Amino acid sequence: MSEQYFANKPQSKSNPKTWSYNLRDQTFQFVSDVGVFSKNEVDFGSRVLIDAFQQPDLLGDIIDLGCGYGPIGLSIAKAFPDRHIILSDINERAVELAKQNADKNDVKNVSFYLGDRLEAIPKRDYAAILINPPIRAGKQTVHRMFEDSYDMLSDRGELWIVIQKKQGAPSAIKKLNEYFRSVEIIEKNKGYFIIKAIK
């Protein structure tokens, strides 16, 4: 079985590649590699999430949870330069690539953490968390990410998620409604749901 992108220490032989992509009217140069999610282009779900996201009215930092090589967090950091964006992933190779891509694209308002879910990130009140969840890790893991996010958000902080209908959007919405005061579908695009949950 091929290695999963949510492995902590990818064993697959590194074979980095560099390519350009336009996100939120900014052109990015990305380095990606084997052993990370969507290594050949920014996946469609992430692109829909990036385009849909609007920063909350609250002050505070924003987290890109499961950042991969960084397209969500870095594009949001470029779009909102007055915010500090935290990029975190369980995958060592992904975090190193995200750091490289921040340097390559001159993105300064970011920091990086290596760890499972939110455990490595300092406990404080965050304004928003964005997740393109690792569906292949299983529903239990994905739902725990939602629960952890609730605990890390400010009152009225926002959790933004992209998830396909066929990969569990209805059950995700049901789970979010157990915790959050408001759960709203912001957009539907080719089977992908953008969901915003407010604490």
Q: Does pLDDT of 138 surpass 90? A: no
Q: Which two tokens stand for residue 93?
A: 């190779």
pLDDT > 70: percent of the chain: 94
Residue 185 is predicted with a pLDDT of 98
3-state secondary structure (DSSP) of residue 184: strand
Q: Are 158 and 197 in contact (CB under 8 A)?
A: yes
- Residue 97 CA to residue 102 CA, distance in Å, equals 9
100-128: pLDDT as tens digits:
999 999 999 999 999 988 989 988 899 99
**What is the Cβ-side half-sphere exposure of residue 185, based on CA atoms within 13 angstroms?**
14
Superfamily of domain 17-198: Vaccinia Virus protein VP39 (3.40.50.150)
149-172: pLDDT as tens digits:
999 999 999 999 999 999 989 999
